[in-house]
Structure 1
Amino acid sequence: MKIIFIDGYNVINSWPTLKKIKDFSYESARQQLIDTLQNYASFNLCKVVVVFDAHKVGGNMEKRDEFEYITVIFTKDGETADAYIEKTVNNIGKKVEVVVVTSDWLEQQTIFQRGAVRMSSIEFYHEVIKVEAKIRKNTEKSSIGNKNLLEDSLDKNILEKLEKIRRSH
């Protein structure tokens, strides 16, 4: 299964929709990103690890929340998201397909040297937009196909009588 590592604050500060939200609340922007990534990951059947810096939060211990397709990590005090991602990707090695999403150029180079595919935050944003459009299209198709028609719930004899009435007028 492909694993996508995401530098959470880098993405929040790069995506136009999240930038607007973070101006009011970083918590809301984080939650919107997590919700978006959950949809993306479940649609693509991949694992997403989103890492948020907490290196400037004194005494902070690493916090990890696991969901079906997504893991949310707040780094420990003194550890950046970049450092966490580099260490984890290095430990995984080349055993699985790894993509790292960040617009930090130095981080992209380091990750590339460790065998991971790199993707900028804006490139990933456009990929997520395409996936959201596919999800909407699939949802619309399934809702159109599941219409509840009156004729589906009526007895055949009643349908025939109604058809006779309709034709006589």
Structure 2
Amino acid sequence: MDFTIRYEPAPDEVARALRQGLKRQLVMVYRILPSVLVVAGLACIWADAVFLGVGMLVAAVVAPFVATRAIRRVATRQLAYMCVPTTIRVTSEGYECRTDQYSTTMQWSMFGQVVTTPEFWLFLVNRQPAAFLPKRAFNSEQQAELIDFLAARQNAGTS
């Protein structure tokens, strides 16, 4: 396998890929952190630290909204770097992504997990999104070859 494609990702496409990749990481912000804050807040109220307890309860409600806004701000800044003409080279050894601003080369062995969505292949390193390939950038033959290749790598990694 060795093919090179050139495409320009759309801002909404990159935003969806980032959102899907970050969704797994945000479980802590949206579920665990508020739960801990509620328990801690109730414990503070029970221990007569009412002001601190109420503050933690308010933080439990506000934290997910603040996190969402902060993530959107960071993602918006990243879009300027990612929504440019991009050349992707995919080989059996790895993945290379080049633009006028940056160049990234990663070996397949770096990716601990590949998540397949209807639009993308998301590549994770230590459960964090590291790269994505938009399926629309590849023709049907290339997509089929990638699907087979990634499935074989995943099966080899689990055996």
- Structures share a fold, TM > 0.5? no
When normalised by structure 1's length, the TM-score is: 0.26
Give the strand-richer structure, 1 or 2. Answer: 2
When normalised by structure 2's length, the TM-score is: 0.27
